[in-house]
């Protein structure tokens, strides 16, 4: 991929990261860590791969997206705002009683949200149902979803995985945001779902292991997924929890905690510096 294209993705992703920080800071709560780790994947999906139209968010033939790890709503909202589904000014109202940007995404009130999520694993099941519906209706849309690696500890995930392979849902392309951490520790210490790649292969999926912050690898993996004839695709994306904010990177403590004013200022300054570096290059 040429450098211009990569820089374009980086600019979008780092603007989304700023929305994550501003949203959670203003709310005084929320989940920055896992939001920052899946930002690059969302950037590719919404600015490259998905067939969507912000002016017509319910178009019947659109691709669908389900954020199965719904607590990472700040990343989805930042992406939807950048893509033009709703005004960016809404972001600072995250989690306010008078805002439609609830702590977890609601399909009834947020333009561009295809499924309400937050109870881990349910979104994945819903994405399997949407993909199956697409097959039955003979539509050629794709369904995309992002799961957390801690989310894989839910038994429901494996029922859904079994069903997707059974029904040969080649129109389903899922990601595991493999940042290695969940709410209160490393996934390998809480309840290890490893080996993630081997498990999905054993469940009959086409599995691709990539660097989840490398745009070219994300795009290539999606393209490979689209070429599948009879298997769903699981892209196991190696990521860093808190990616892009130095003091949040790899820190379990930033799973579900908002930055205070000082931390917000530091994070925004870092992200701005990164963006400024891209402008002058």
- Count of CB atoms situated within 10 Å of the CB of 197: 16
Q: Shortest Cβ distance from residue 269 to ligand TPP (Å)?
A: 24
Binding residues for ligand TPP, per CB under 6 A?
A: 31, 33-34, 37, 69, 71-72, 118-120, 148-151, 177, 179, 181-183, 241, 255
Sheet holding 172-178, edge to edge: 64-67, 143-148, 172-178, 233-238, 206-211
Q: Which residue has the tokens 């500890």?
A: 153
Q: Shortest Cβ distance from residue 134 to ligand TPP (Å)?
A: 26
The structure tokens listed for 205 are 């999926």
Between residues 118 and 232, which has the closer beta carbon with respect to ligand TPP? 118
Q: Shortest Cβ distance from residue 182 to ligand TPP (Å)?
A: 3
Residue pair 265/15 in contact by the 8 Å Cβ criterion:
no
Q: Shortest Cβ distance from residue 37 to ligand TPP (Å)?
A: 6
Q: Shortest Cβ distance from residue 280 to ligand TPP (Å)?
A: 33
- C-alpha distances in Å from residue 20, one per residue of 27, 40, 201: 11, 13, 33
The structure tokens listed for 162 are 């079994």
**Cα 148 from Cα 136, distance rounded (Å):** 28
Between residues 62 and 104, which has the closer beta carbon with respect to ligand TPP? 104
Q: Shortest Cβ distance from residue 87 to ligand TPP (Å)?
A: 26
Q: Which residue has the tokens 């947020």?
A: 110
- The contacts of residue 57 (CB under 8 Å, 6+ apart) are 85, 111, 112
**Cα 229 from Cα 68, distance rounded (Å):** 24
- Count of CB atoms situated within 10 Å of the CB of 160: 27
Between residues 134 and 259, which has the closer beta carbon with respect to ligand TPP? 259
**Cα 119 from Cα 151, distance rounded (Å):** 10
Q: Shortest Cβ distance from residue 58 to ligand TPP (Å)?
A: 26
């Amino acid at each position: 991929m040429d450098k211009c294209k990569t820089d374009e993705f980086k600019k979008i992703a780092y603007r989304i990261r700023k929305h994550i920080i501003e949203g959670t800071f203003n709310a005084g709560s929320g989940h920055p860590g896992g939001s920052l780790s899946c930002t690059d994947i969302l950037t590719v999906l919404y600015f490259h791969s998905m067939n969507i139209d912000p002016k017509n968010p319910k178009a019947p033939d659109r691709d669908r997206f389900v954020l199965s790890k719904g607590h990472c709503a700040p990343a989805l909202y930042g992406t939807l705002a950048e893509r033009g589904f709703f005004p960016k000014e809404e972001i600072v109202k995250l989690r306010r009683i008078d805002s439609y940007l609830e702590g977890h995404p609601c399909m009834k009130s947020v333009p561009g949200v295809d499924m309400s999520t937050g109870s881990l694993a349910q979104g994945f099941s819903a994405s399997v149902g949407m993909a199956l519906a697409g097959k039955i209706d003979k539509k050629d849309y794709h369904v995309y979803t992002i799961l957390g690696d801690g989310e894989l500890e839910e038994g429901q995930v494996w029922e859904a995985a079994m069903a997707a392979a059974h029904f040969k849902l080649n129109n389903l392309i899922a990601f595991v945001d493999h940042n290695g951490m969940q709410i209160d520790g490393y996934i390998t210490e809480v309840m290890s779902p490893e080996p993630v790649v081997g498990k999905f292969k054993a469940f009959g999926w086409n599995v691709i292991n990539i660097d989840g912050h490398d745009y070219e690898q994300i795009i290539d993996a999606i393209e490979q997924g689209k070429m599948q004839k009879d298997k769903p695709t699981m892209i196991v994306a190696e990521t860093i929890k808190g990616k892009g904010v130095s003091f949040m990177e790899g820190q379990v403590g930033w799973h579900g905690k908002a930055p205070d004013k000082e931390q917000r200022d530091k994070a925004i300054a870092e992200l701005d510096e990164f963006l400024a570096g891209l402008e002058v290059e």
